[in-house]
A and B are shown apart, each in its own frame.
Chain A
């Protein structure tokens, strides 16, 4: 049976890769701005962006040798906490094919992995779609 997709006001399709440009930070800031206005938001990641939420990242980044005692949260940790704070407004989907292809199948529990060809169903469940970057 097909999984029910929660309707949202906005969907952000994040195709661009982390560690290349400020795209990921922009997507997260945009998400926060929408949440601040009470909007319901769903994020769909494809390509290398699926790695943002892989569980193997752990809670923190590797140590900074220049600031050994400082903890730096991983992207998975930042996104996990954001999802926990907005359980009714924010939903995060990860393309199953892209994450499998890149060996990033293990994801944090707050995100849902979805078959790639459900993308169209997701777009129909959102009032507005914005795509960011390319795979």
Chain B
């Protein structure tokens, strides 16, 4: 475990696209990862989908003649955080709820924890934040 990096837990997924765009919860967490020198990110509930490979799609929407192509792309954000040496976790029960093949579609580098495993390790982290 890192000496100073927090454990950040995100449980609420998909909190708005048109009004949010780049400024989703992962935008802030990514910067925290840089400032803390490395954090652990636990994606719980539906946020586990952020850590899965998925068919290619472009996060964009057409509104009138405007093509708004700056919508949140949480999967890309997770990939960038992994490249920046963040430790990303999902929990086994959340994966199971996403289907029998979900585990085989985890992004490279994402770690899978047993149910409750991360909670039992809270004491190892100097800070535990729900975001």
Contacts and interface: CB of A to CB of B under 8 A. Distances in A.
A25 B19 CA distance: 8
Contacts of A85: 64-65
B15 A72 contact: no
Contacts of B20: 19
A95 interface: no
A50 interface: no
B95 to A, nearest CB: 22
A29 B86 CA distance: 35
Interface stretch (A38-46, A61-69, A97-105, A121-129): A61-69
Nearest to A62: B23
A61 B23 contact: yes
Chain B binding surface SS class:
loop
Contact of B19 (A24, A29, A66): A24
Given A64-B23, A72-B22, A72-B70, A21 B16 contact: yes
Given A32-B64, A81-B64, A82-B63, A19 B70 contact: no
Contacts of A65: 31
A3 interface: no
A75 B66 CA distance: 13
Contact of A29 (B16, B30, B61): B61
A75 B71 CA distance: 12
A116 interface: no
- Indicate the member of B17, B65, B71 with the most A CB atoms within 10 Å: B17
A70 B31 contact: no
- Counting chain B residues whose Cβ lies within 8 A of the other chain, the interface size class is 20 to 34
Contacts of A73: 66, 68
Given A21-B14, A22-B14, A65-B31, A75 B19 contact: yes
B16 A19 contact: yes
Interface of A: 18-25, 28-29, 32, 35, 52, 61-62, 64-67, 70, 72-73, 75, 78, 81-82, 85-86
Interface in B1-53: 14-23, 27, 30-31
Contacts of B121: none
Nearest 8 interchain pairs by C-beta: A85-B64, A25-B17, A18-B19, A75-B19, A64-B22, A25-B18, A19-B16, A82-B64
Given A18-B16, A61-B21, 5 more contacts: A21-B14, A21-B16, A24-B16, A29-B63, A78-B18
